[in-house]
Amino acid sequence: MTSRRDLLKTATVAPALAAAAESRITKYVRYRAGSAAAAYGILEGETVRAITGPLFGEHKPNGAEHKLAGVKLLYPCQPPKIFAVGLNYKSHIGKQTPPANPEIFYKPITCLQNPGDPIRIPKTALNVHYEGEMAIVIGRRTRNVSAGEAPQSIFGVTCGIDVSERDWQNGPQKDLQWWRAKGADTFGPLGPCIARGLDYGNLKLQTRLNGKVVQQQSTSDLLFPPAAIVSWISQAVTLTPGDVIYTGTPGQTGKMQPGDVVEVEIEGIGVLRNPVAAA
Per-residue pLDDT of 61-73, as tens digits, reads 999 999 999 999 9
Structural domains of the chain sorted by starting position, each given as residue range(s) with its CATH number in brackets:
4-74 (2.30.30.370), 82-278 (3.90.850.10)
pLDDT band at 121 (very low <50, low <70, confident <90, very high): very high
Farthest-apart Cα atoms in the chain, separation: 65
Distances (CA, A) of 155 to 57, 85, 124: 11, 18, 38
pLDDT band at 22 (very low <50, low <70, confident <90, very high): low
pLDDT at 10: 41
Taking the C-alpha atoms of residue 104 and residue 108, their distance in angstroms, rounded to an integer, is 13
pLDDT at 59: 97
pTM over cut 0.85? yes
Taking residue 2's Cβ as centre, other Cβ atoms within 10 Å add up to: 7
pLDDT band at 23 (very low <50, low <70, confident <90, very high): low
